[in-house]
Amino acid sequence: MSKIDELFQTLRSANRKALMPFITAGDPDLDFTTAVLKELVARGASMCEVGIPYSDPIADGPVIQASYTRALDNGVKLKSILETLAGVVPELSAPVVTMVSYAIIYRHGLEKYADELKSRGIAGMIVPDLPVEESPQLAKVCEARDLSLIQLVTPTTPQDRAKKITETSSGFLYYVSVAGITGERTELPPDLVDRVSWLREQTPLPVCIGFGISKPEHVKLLAPVADGLIVGSAIVRRMAAVDDKGHDATLQQIGDYVASLLTALD
């Protein structure tokens, strides 16, 4: 059983839902990445997603694109990100996964990338651009190491393809709430709840919703139908203000924001 399987088993037994913040590794630097992860978990985040900066955006909106660009401009590399995570992950009471392009995994080597995650205590990977036709090989690599391979289903994914995605996914399914890119939104699609309800009938895996979630009202709306909620752009935007507001004040603001979402989740 993977760390993420254990997490959702624990949450379900307590009738609780997961809040899963996303941050960009290395924006503005890896020391701040470490500090933010500690703050998020201290405030009650169930799991943290760490984005591996990539030069070709994959459904990333302007906020996350800009954060990836800043990190890459600062010279952040995969090796240094993994070394940083190795230093902080063992201290955290919540699992950590990487969100990473399949191009990076493929170039690095499937087994090598998985081994490096495993050796650093990282619980799995979200691979937004993994074609379902190529997913069985990576799924086997992850399964052999008790790593979760988290894949995405979108509003435009045909139902037969969505079912195939569930077959090679593990940990949880990431349901993309909107057709388009990441980013904060004032409203979510009216059929979102129905779409997620259908997906949950197709798989025993937990279904977690991301893209566009930024307000306590979103959390209250989606918590009854989801196993977890993913918040990214709203946190990354706050992280970008660190140069203006300072390290401690930015951490406090991020922590308070996450606390407000967790209050809505209860």
pLDDT for the residue 184 = 42
pLDDT for the residue 57 = 62
Tens digit of each residue's pLDDT (9 = 90 or more) over 49-99: 999 999 876 656 678 889 999 999 999 999 999 999 999 999 999 999 999
Tens digit of each residue's pLDDT (9 = 90 or more) over 133-184: 999 999 999 999 999 999 999 888 999 999 999 999 999 999 987 654 444 4
Mean pLDDT value of segment 219-243: 90
pLDDT for the residue 183 = 40
pLDDT for the residue 194 = 84
Spatial strand order of the sheet with 228-231 comes to 148-150, 124-126, 96-99, 48-51, 18-24, 228-231, 207-210, 173-176, 152-153
- Contacts by 132-137, CB closer than 8 A, 24 or more apart: 132/161, 132/164, 132/165, 132/168, 134/102, 135/165, 135/168, 135/169, 136/168, 137/110
Residue 221 — pLDDT band, cuts 50, 70, 90? confident
Tens digit of each residue's pLDDT (9 = 90 or more) over 243-264: 888 999 999 999 999 999 999 9
Tell whether the model's pLDDT for residue 43 goes beyond 50: yes
Which CATH number does the domain housing residue 38 bear? 3.20.20.70
Q: 208 near 172, Cβ under 8 Å?
A: yes
Tell whether the model's pLDDT for residue 189 goes beyond 70: no
Q: Rounded CA gap, 78 and 99, in Å?
A: 12
pLDDT for the residue 209 = 93
Domain that includes residue 162, residue range: 3-265
Residue 242 — pLDDT band, cuts 50, 70, 90? confident
Tens digit of each residue's pLDDT (9 = 90 or more) over 86-135: 999 999 999 999 999 999 999 999 999 999 999 999 999 999 999 999 99
pLDDT for the residue 266 = 80
Instruction: From 51, 130, 128, select the one nearest 97 (Cα to Cα).
Output: 51
Domains contained in the chain, number: 1
Catalytic center residues: 49, 60
Q: 98 near 120, Cβ under 8 Å?
A: no
DSSP state string for 5-68? HHHHHHHHHTT--EEEEEEETTSS-HHHHHHHHHHHHHTT-S-EEEE---SS-SS--HHHHHHH
Tens digit of each residue's pLDDT (9 = 90 or more) over 134-146: 999 999 999 999 9
